[in-house]
Structure 1
Amino acid sequence: MALRTLIFSISILFLSSVMGCRGHSLESINELKDQEIFREKVELSLNMKLNQKDIGEIITYIGGSFVGSRYLPYTLETPTEEHLIVNLREFDCVTFVESVLALAKVIRYGNPTFNDFKRELRLLRYRDGVIHEYPSRLHYFTDWVLDNQRKGNVQNITADIGGVSFKKSLNYMSMHRKEYPALANEAFFEAIRKREIELSRYPLYYIPQQKINEMEGKIRSGDIIGITTSVDGLDISHVGFAYQRDGTLYFLHASACEGMVKISDVRLSKYVAGQEGSNGIMVIRPIDMRE
């Protein structure tokens, strides 16, 4: 761990030194690539008349079109000031969910622009949709759900479909401070710790692992699935979408193990059962604003 931290710190210093001469150029090239992918997805949606579908169907189709895209961790962690990072070329599990949901939301309204997509992504990723340094990003899944539920983007339906309550102190980030370089900033650390205390007061619900199979009929394709974990201080260990195919519910996600976006080979309940440390799921339903 100490060696990994040292290597990461040296890398950060190196990147900072060259950022002024080539950082913006690289970002510009990547944005052009992202714009091209965005246009492809919009064209696909227009050809398929996806804007006439409900948001769950759009998520299923657009999310499925990314199958095979590369998995890349830490895509939001940079040595520069906090800013909106767009990456439709590669994903971790969280950025995959955010990017697909943002795409689905703008596709729902017809022929969107890339700036429309960036606006939706910012609204999903940051508290109140406002970028204000590292702590303004919604780091914990519970925080992400609460904020986006308040903004009208999603609804936590876990309790409604038979979930049971559980209590957990969310403190993984503050307890593992050295794993998060940004938390070397004392103000950022205190802001995160304060939010952890606030989040730990909220009642949480999950569908226990052994109950998922019987609850699958209440889960729709396109619902966001957070896999809850027994790891101390964490609410979930992985996130993706429910994906229905031939009457069976699977899991669409950016997989670290497979190194790419994929649809699980086994049904959702069996996939969750096979994940080390998992104990159930949360089910979050994207809201269709036109309903």
Structure 2
Amino acid sequence: MRKPTLLLVLTVLITAGASFAAANLLLRHASPTGPRVAAALPPLPGGVALGDPTPKFVGETRVLAMEAIDATAWAPMNQALVQLARRFLDYPFKGFSLDGGPKEQLVLDLSTFDCFLFVEQLLALSNSRKVDTLDEGMERFGAHVRRLRYVDGEVDYCRRQHYFSRWAEAAERNGYVVNLTPFLPGASSRTVALNFMSNHASSYKPMQLARNKQCITELEKDLVLEQAYIPLAALPGVLPSLRNGDIFALVTKVPGLDVTHVGFLEKRDGVVNAIHAAEGAGVIRSENFETYAGKVQDVIGVAIYRPRPNDGEKKSATESGG
């Protein structure tokens, strides 16, 4: 958990309506939290990663990424994320796009999205700007996606961050986001076991491979999450504290799951909207985030994460011995 003094200061700032700049300054100097998931990572079956770390650019992704980096080159990060999200409005939805072959690959795809990949890749893009050349931007894009998507950058299905809360915890430890949720008015928490994948193995093509099913089942035996969230009833009091580019996650009551949908927040004319990749609709803007979140089946609340600039040089907790 974060230091009590930081929690007190942030609470005072938020409830007093202090400027976003002051609150964000504190957040940028907050120490990353330690892991909140009580589960040791099992060794890789066979002892080695079964995947290809070479970036695979799908379709026109390289061109799309270069254009996006160039168009948002010097915008502040939160504004850049909203600009990036808007660039991909109406792009199609595609589920399970990382599960196409028997071997895990570092897939980069800006031509189709699911909600998770929409957030992950645009966050990586936002950290790949302000470079000397677009080729350097492409190298950074691939490196950031790899670091966000996989534990310790090991490209393997067994090391992919399948649950968004685990992805976000790793992203926070590695300096990509700050979890605002515990500091926001009305915050609550719950304990949830993450075991949806092992309980629905037939729904995941890569888990038809015995070694993948083995590692995921082993991981989820003791995978318990202490999850902070804002109950839907408390959401109106939180909206004034949010800003462009914040990441939202819809917290669910579905057994074995932490969240069921994620995206970016956009503030327009004083109203907080959501831009996200939705099944059956593609990348869309859902106006009035409060109304939208309240209509999604099985949602009990939301979690909010604030992106922060990352130069890609900070070592992971494992690499630094943490």
Q: Is the 8 A contact 2:90 2:283 kept in 1?
A: yes
Q: Does 1:73 align with 2:95?
A: yes
Which moved further from structure 2: 184-193 or 212-221? 184-193
Q: Does 1:154 align with 2:181?
A: no
In structure 2, relative to structure 1, the CA distance for the partners of 1:199 and 1:110 (3 Å cut) is farther
Q: Which residue of 1 aligns with 2:223?
A: 199
Q: Which amino acid letter does the alignment assign opposite residue 121 of structure 1?
A: V
Q: Which residue of 2 aligns with 1:174?
A: 198
Distance 2:251 2:228 in 1: 10
Q: Is the 8 A contact 2:95 2:114 kept in 1?
A: yes
Q: Which amino acid letter does the alignment assign opposite residue 195 of structure 1?
A: L
Q: Which residue of 2 aligns with 1:217?
A: 240
**Larger proportion of helix:** 1
How far off is 1:271 after superposition?
A: 0.4
SS of the aligned residue for 1:124 comes to helix
Q: Which segments of 5 or more consecutive residues in structure 1 lack a partner in the other structure?
A: 1-26
Q: Which residue of 1 aligns with 2:113?
A: 91
Q: Does 1:130 align with 2:154?
A: yes
Aligned pair partner of 1:288 in 309, 314, 319: 309
Instruction: Please list, as runs of the form range in 1=range in 2, the aligned pairs for 1:95-106 lying within 5 A after superposition.
Output: 95-106=117-128
Q: Which residue of 2 aligns with 1:43?
A: 70
Q: Which residue of 2 aligns with 1:62?
A: 84
Aligned pair partner of 1:189 in 185, 198, 213: 213
How far off is 1:45 after superposition?
A: 2.0
In structure 2, relative to structure 1, the CA distance for the partners of 1:216 and 1:199 (3 Å cut) is farther
How far off is 1:138 after superposition?
A: 0.2
Q: Which amino acid letter does the alignment assign opposite residue 155 of structure 1?
A: V
**Residues 223-278 of structure 1: CA deviation (Å, up to 9, x unaligned):** 111101111111011110111111111111011142x21111x3111100011111
How far off is 1:56 after superposition?
A: 1.3
SS of the aligned residue for 2:128 comes to helix
Q: Which residue of 2 aligns with 1:116?
A: 140
Instruction: Give aligned-pair identity as a percent.
Output: 28
Q: Which amino acid letter does the alignment assign opposite residue 67 of structure 1?
A: L
SS of the aligned residue for 2:261 comes to strand
Q: Which residue of 2 aligns with 1:268?
A: 289
Q: Is the 8 A contact 2:58 2:107 kept in 1?
A: no
**Residues 119-160 of structure 1: CA deviation (Å, up to 9, x unaligned):** 1111111112221x2111000111101211111111212111
Distance 1:195 1:219 in 2: 34
Q: Which residue of 2 aligns with 1:4?
A: none
| RMSD, matched Cα | 1.9
Q: Does 1:244 align with 2:267?
A: yes
Distance 2:222 2:174 in 1: 19
Distance 1:110 1:217 in 2: 37
TM-score, scaled relative to structure 1? 0.82
SS of the aligned residue for 1:139 comes to coil
**Aligned residue pairs, count:** 254
Q: Is the 8 A contact 2:61 2:109 kept in 1?
A: yes
Q: Which segments of 5 or more consecutive residues in structure 2 lack a partner in the other structure?
A: 1-54, 312-322
SS of the aligned residue for 2:250 comes to strand
How far off is 1:113 after superposition?
A: 2.5
